[in-house]
């Protein structure tokens, strides 16, 4: 008789199927590799924007990347705060260049806690006043147009899109965002925190999928090719890493002599006389080395030191 039994491993043997639940919300989600790449270039964007705003405003400005997220466009519109300052950036080709392959619009969305301190400082104020939620005046709108144009310029620099320029358009309402993204699209949100004169505000860049795909493609073109089966990502230069190092900084009075008689009579509430004019500048020391003369000042609600002339090289032991 013919043996029709089937052995394990026989192709004819049906294997049990594995059924897993599908999460449709995760479809099209960023991979870890793409998320790392976007994080790296936008950390560079934050540093460049902070430096530029610092020069324009004349006060210390900190910009740092907070989060990278993706949301359906409808859910994103519903979460936007009322009166948010929203400006779409259109992408165009430079004169004489081949038509750009970039499609879709990049959108910058600014919270009011970022908008009002920024405007106040640019108008000569301290940026510390409390502002109620309201619409912007025409002058304030023009100031914010310059700010968003600055954001667009630094975005161009870090994205390295060939022959592409970003044009800052007029402000739009949040209800019009669906005109820039398909109804079933997801937007990628890159959120930043900005500290101005002690006030903390936020803004974010929103990318439709069409633009995100072109940006990721450009990033991969600039990354090194695979070597030995491993992917190498560009590391930060030594100079960039040194700039993020922490050093101890102190500002104090220059070296002076005080008699023992004055010291032994000290008690709570007494004054120690240094016998030097109040206009004598202090010294700024970095890692224990005295580098600059300084004058105590106030920056908004914080104490600060205004840098004066450098100390002599002989004081550093470098002459």
- 102 within some domain: yes
- 19 within some domain: no
Domain check: are 208 and 280 in the same one?
no
Phi, psi angles (nearest 5°) of residue 83: 65, 15
- 127 within some domain: yes
- 305 within some domain: yes
Task: Identify the pLDDT of residue 27.
Answer: 47
- 18 within some domain: no
Average model confidence (pLDDT) across the chain = 80
pLDDT interval class at 17 (50, 70, 90): low
Domain check: are 199 and 259 in the same one?
no
- CA distances to 77, 115, 130 from 136, rounded to whole Å, are 21, 9, 15
Is 305 within 8 Å of 294 (Cβ atoms)?
yes
Task: Identify the pLDDT of residue 102.
Answer: 43
Q: What is the CATH number of the domain that holds 312?
A: 2.30.330.10
Residue 152's contacts (CB-CB under 8 Å, 6 or more residues apart) are 89, 108, 166, 167, 168
Q: Is 296 a residue whose pLDDT tops 60? A: yes
- CA distances to 35, 62, 69, 210 from 31, rounded to whole Å, are 6, 29, 12, 16
- 21 within some domain: no
Task: State both tokens at 262.
Answer: 């004055």
Domain check: are 266 and 174 in the same one?
no
Phi, psi angles (nearest 5°) of residue 23: -100, 100
Task: State both tokens at 50.
Answer: 């902070």
Task: Identify the pLDDT of residue 235.
Answer: 66
Domain check: are 143 and 90 in the same one?
yes
Domain check: are 237 and 257 in the same one?
no
Domain check: are 42 and 172 in the same one?
yes
pLDDT interval class at 28 (50, 70, 90): low
Domain check: are 237 and 259 in the same one?
no
Rounded to an integer, the average pLDDT of 291-315 is 78
Domain check: are 84 and 160 in the same one?
yes
Q: Is 141 a residue whose pLDDT tops 70? A: yes
Domain check: are 110 and 202 in the same one?
yes
Q: Is 295 a residue whose pLDDT tops 90? A: no
pLDDT tens per residue across span 41-86:
999 999 999 999 988 888 888 999 999 999 999 999 999 988 899 9
Q: What is the CATH number of the domain that holds 132?
A: 3.40.1550.10
Total of domains in the chain: 2
Rounded to an integer, the average pLDDT of 153-180 is 86
Q: Is 224 a residue whose pLDDT tops 70? A: no
Domain edge (last residue) among 243, 277, 293: 243
- 7 within some domain: no
Task: State both tokens at 184.
Answer: 């079933």
Rounded to an integer, the average pLDDT of 279-298 is 83
Domain edge (last residue) among 243, 272, 294: 243
Distance (Å, whole) CA 128 – CA 117: 7
Rounded to an integer, the average pLDDT of 274-296 is 81
Domain check: are 282 and 137 in the same one?
no
pLDDT interval class at 104 (50, 70, 90): low
- 70 within some domain: yes
Domain edge (last residue) among 208, 243, 278: 243
Domain check: are 204 and 276 in the same one?
no
Domain check: are 136 and 153 in the same one?
yes
> Which structural domain, as residue segments, surrounds residue 88?
27-224+233-243
């Amino acid at each position: 008789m013919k043996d029709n039994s089937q052995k394990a491993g026989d192709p004819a043997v049906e294997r049990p199927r594995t059924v897993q639940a599908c999460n449709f919300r995760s479809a099209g989600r960023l991979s870890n590799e793409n998320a790392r790449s976007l994080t790296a270039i936008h950390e560079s964007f934050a540093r460049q924007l902070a430096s530029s705003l610092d020069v324009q405003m004349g006060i210390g400005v900190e910009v740092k990347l907070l989060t990278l997220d993706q949301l359906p466009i409808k859910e994103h519109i519903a979460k936007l705060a009322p009166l948010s300052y929203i400006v779409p950036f259109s992408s165009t080709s430079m004169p004489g260049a081949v038509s750009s392959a970039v499609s879709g619009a990049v959108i910058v969305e600014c919270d009011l806690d970022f908008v009002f301190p920024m405007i106040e400082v640019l108008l000569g104020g301290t940026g510390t006043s409390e502002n109620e939620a309201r619409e912007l005046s025409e002058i304030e709108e023009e100031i914010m147009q310059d700010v968003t144009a600055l954001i667009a310029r630094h975005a161009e620099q870090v994205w390295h899109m060939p022959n592409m320029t970003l044009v800052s358009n007029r402000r739009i309402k949040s209800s019009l965002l669906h005109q820039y993204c398909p109804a079933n699209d997801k937007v990628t949100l890159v959120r930043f925190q900005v500290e101005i004169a002690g006030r903390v505000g936020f803004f974010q860049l929103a990318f439709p999928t069409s633009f995100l795909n072109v940006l990721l493609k450009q990033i991969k073109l600039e990354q090194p090719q695979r070597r030995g089966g491993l992917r190498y990502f560009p590391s930060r230069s030594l100079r960039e890493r040194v700039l993020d190092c922490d050093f101890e900084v102190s500002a104090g009075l220059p070296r002076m002599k005080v008699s023992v008689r004055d010291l032994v009579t000290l008690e709570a509430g007494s004054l120690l006389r240094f016998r030097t004019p109040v206009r004598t500048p202090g010294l700024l020391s970095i890692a224990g080395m005295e580098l600059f003369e300084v004058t105590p000042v106030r920056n908004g609600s914080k104490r600060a030191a205004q840098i004066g002339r450098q100390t002599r090289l002989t004081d550093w032991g470098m002459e």
